[in-house]
Structures are given as structure tokens and as C-alpha cells.
Structure 1
Amino acid sequence: MEAPESDTDLSGNVAVVTGASRRIGRATALRLARAGADVVLHGHRARDEVEAVAAEVEAIGRRALVVMADITDEAAVEGMFRRIEAEAGGVDILVNNAAIRGEKPLLEMSLAEWRQTMAVIVDGTFLCSREALRSMVARGGGSIVNIGGVTAHIGAARRAHVATAKAALGGLTRTLAVEFAPHGVRVNCIVPGSIGGRRSATAGAVPQMSKGSEDILLGREGTVEEVAHVIASFCLPGAGYVTGQTVHVNGGVYMN
């Protein structure tokens, strides 16, 4: 990692964004590229969509690397990061954004459906973080941002699996922050609220939460760009004294 020119400059950094094909993942990749980072764009099945984002990153003037992998598969994740090490030189920033957000009433939910959601959100974050941390420790530091979910804090019908998995990321964030602070690695969690725009097929419907849109103090849904701005800010050198935190981007629907 090269020394940045300013507290808002990510030049010389390599950032990995999982689930980078659309919405928050795509917006975050572009925001990091605009700050000067080269971006590794992860996807699972939608290669054409990931490659489209890669073209946008390259149009900004930064290098893009597309990696396709099932992040619930340990060997696949290890292979993905070996490729990143070989082709990009290592990892300075990791944004754990990949998730599935299906809906199912609890009494109809199978153990397989429960485990699939936990695998993508929790196991995937663990596996990607573990491999990225190997690189960050060797490079003398880095930043991990986990993407939580507001339903983990206020509840939602038909989302027991998603809310539980997202809640687990808070504990993982704090423990990694403690363990890797001596190595110069910061770990934080950003929690989006109700975010507007076209939703992906795996996102499900807008969840029935214990608080509705009428409770959003700012009176509107957020945008993916607003979330991406906050995510990227936690990766900047200027945020070097922030770690182990959970920060909500939700227009005031939940305040901690």
C-alpha cells in the first residue's frame, strides 16, 4: 500500500467489494474508485453485471478485477484471494456486502433455508475477512467494513434468518476490531435502513418492520449513493481513529 496524498485519497489501495454487481455494492465500488482505489469486484452468478461495473470503474480511471466465487465455499474463497494476491498485489480494503435477503414465515422456514442465509451472510463474511486479514497484516494495516441490516436492530416479520445473520455481524465486527487493532486493521459495520431504487431478485420485498416508513425522521428512503458515501468514508485515512463501531444510515428510523 502506497502512502496516500491526503486523508481523502485512496491511491495505491486495493479494495475488494463482495456482491458488487448492483445497488450498494456497485455504488460502493464506484465511490472507492473515485477516491483513487483499484477495485476487485466479486460476484457469484451474474458475471455480466459485475463486468459492467468493472467497465464503470475503468472509465473512472482505476483498475478493476472481476472475481467470481461462492463465498460459502472455503476453497473457493481461498482461491479467490490467491488470485487477488497474484494479480492485484494484496488487499487493503474489504467491504463485506454480499448477502441474500429472502422472506419466509418462521413456521414455514426449513433448516436448509435458515442455514443458506447464515452461510452467505455470516460464513461468507468470516471467510472473506480471514483471507483479507492475512494480506492486511502482511501489508501493515487495512480497513474492513461489514454491511449490517436495520432489521437486526428493530425486527421484521418473515426475516428471522436475515435479521439473525446480520446481528451476528455486529459481534464479529467488534471481535475482529479488538484482535487486529495491533496490526493496524480497523473493522466497522455500516447498517443501511430503508434504501430505495430497483431491488435485486434476492432482496425480497420491503420487509414488514416493527417501524414503518412513517417513522423515518427525514421523511424518505435513502439512496445507495448515500450509503456508499458512508462506507467509503470509513476506508479513508482520515477515519484512522475509528474502529469497532456500528453506524446506522437510516434517516432516523432507528437511533442507538
Structure 2
Amino acid sequence: MLHRTDRPLAGKVALVTGASRRIGRAVALGLAQAGADVVVHARQSRDEVEAVANEVRALGQRAAVALGDVTDEADVMALFQTATDAFGGVDILVNNAAIRGEKAFLDMSLEEWRTTNSVILDGAFLCSREALRSMVTRGGGTIVNLGGVSAHVGAKQRAHVATAKAGLVGLTKSMAVEFADRNITVNCVAPGKIGGKRSATAGASPAMGSGGPIVGREGEIEEAAFVILSLCMPEARFMTGQTVHVSGGMYMP
């Protein structure tokens, strides 16, 4: 039976990067509803991230706020120090921070290429490394990386994003293999076209190499968050190294 209690994550500490809005916010609140205390991260939008932290507290869980650049090693170390100081460590990490700008391939600068790959890949590497150190000492844990359907079907003007998201798949598998014997699971969730208000860096919904969702609509933020949350539950301990697609059938591996 799934979710044997109303608070299956009671006693756990979760850290969600890019948690000030959209999927990150929904995941942070879902983790709190499941009983976890939550470290809510954003790069610089303090008002938004403080609002999410207050929503976590309203659900009866503790919350801590941390601002920082996930591509900066010192910032990431400070982020996890915040988690340690507030709650003693981290049991769950959701690597959600990303940028998703659009640029035609022939117009893309090396700086734009590197910046996108750094936020998505370097950020996941740095955050996962610090989280894994905590999880090893705490006897286990869960990492969920946020990929994207563009890595599997391609997308116009998003070669940098698709490449970085594809890299997350390899990172997910490698960490899953290396830390399986430490009771740590690592999975990737690849959302498709998710509706709602997009961030300023997201651009328009890009043209993909496949058609649109076969279900005939964009996904809801809560639908993507549900799958991420499911991978954090105790019943998901036998699942690791996988990429789960939430794309309305845009991609069927």
C-alpha cells in the first residue's frame, strides 16, 4: 500500500534548488505535506523564496531559506551548511535549478553554451556531491534530478539546454551505481511541455523534434511535481538510475 501514513517523510530533511516558483515550489510544498522539513533555495529572489518557506511552515514543517549560485562551489557549500545548521543534514535533494533560454545554434556564443551547461550540470554535480556526503553519514537518501523532454527528442534553439539535460541522465546513472550500496537512490524526471507562467529565462515553449503531447494538452505543474514526490517516498526505494518521462506521451522510450 502506498503512503502508509499521512506523513511518510516525517523526520526527513529535503533541499530543493530553484524552489521559488513553478515545479520547485510545488515540490517543496509537497515534501512538507509529506512530513519533511525543507531547505528552500533560490539564486536571488529572496521575497519569493521566503514566501515559499512560510507556506512550508503553514503546513506544520520547519523551513530554512538559502540564496546562492549553484555554479559557485563556495555558495553550494554554504547552502548545505545552512541545511546542517538548521536540521543536521539532508536526506532528500531535488536538483531543479536551471535556465532554459532560447538561441539559434549558429548565433549561440560559447559563453551562452557554457552558462547553461554550468547551471544545469555543474549545479547538479556540486549540489549532489555535498548532499551525498550528508546522506552517507545519515545512512541513506534520495536524489531526483530534473531533466527534460528536449534531451530525448531535440528542440529548436535549445541545443545548449537539451545537451545539459542529456548529461543529467548520465550523471543520474553513474551516481545510482556508485551509491546503491549506501542506501541512496538517484533518479531523473523529464517533464515535457508544462503550462503555467514561465520564468523570464525560460523563453517561449520551444518547437520539439516530435509532435506535442498526445494527450492534447500541456501538463500541469502539480502533475510533474507528483512524479518527483513519488520518487522521494519510502515505497520508491527499489527504483534507481531511471529517467521517468512526464510528457503526455511526447516521448515514449
* TM-score relative to the length of structure 1: 0.96
User: Residues of 2 paired with 1:217 and 1:237: CA distance?
Assistant: 31
Structure 1 residue 159: deviation in Å? 0.2
Query: What are the equivalent positions in structure 2 for 1:159-178 lying under 5 Å apart?
Result: 159-178=158-177
Aligned with 2:218 (options 205, 216, 221) = 221
User: Residues of 1 paired with 2:33 and 2:153: CA distance?
Assistant: 34
Unmatched segments (≥5 aa) in structure 2: none
User: Residues of 1 paired with 2:57 and 2:5: CA distance?
Assistant: 22
Please tell me whether the aligned partners of residues 43 and 50 of structure 1 are also in contact (alpha carbons under 8 angstroms). Answer: yes
The C-alpha deviation readout for 1:109-129, integer Å capped at 9, x for no partner, is: 110110000110000000000
Structure 2 equivalent of residue 69 of structure 1: 68
Letter in 1 for 2:218: E
Percent identity over the alignment is 65
Letter in 2 for 1:67: A
> Counterpart of 1:156 in 2: which secondary structure?
coil
Structure 2 equivalent of residue 238 of structure 1: 235
Query: What are the equivalent positions in structure 2 for 1:33-44 lying under 5 Å apart?
Result: 33-44=32-43
User: Residues of 2 paired with 1:9 and 1:130: CA distance?
Assistant: 25
Letter in 1 for 2:12: N
Aligned with 1:251 (options 245, 248, 253) = 248
Please tell me whether the aligned partners of residues 7 and 238 of structure 1 are also in contact (alpha carbons under 8 angstroms). Answer: no
Structure 2 equivalent of residue 208 of structure 1: 207
Please tell me whether the aligned partners of residues 6 and 34 of structure 2 are also in contact (alpha carbons under 8 angstroms). Answer: no
Unmatched segments (≥5 aa) in structure 1: none
Please tell me whether the aligned partners of residues 121 and 166 of structure 1 are also in contact (alpha carbons under 8 angstroms). Answer: yes
Q: How many residues align?
A: 251
Cα RMSD (Å): 1.3
> Counterpart of 2:119 in 1: which secondary structure?
helix
Structure 1 residue 181: deviation in Å? 0.6
The C-alpha deviation readout for 1:35-89, integer Å capped at 9, x for no partner, is: 1111110000111111111111111111111100111001111121122111111
The C-alpha deviation readout for 1:156-209, integer Å capped at 9, x for no partner, is: 010010000000000000000000011110000000001011111111110111
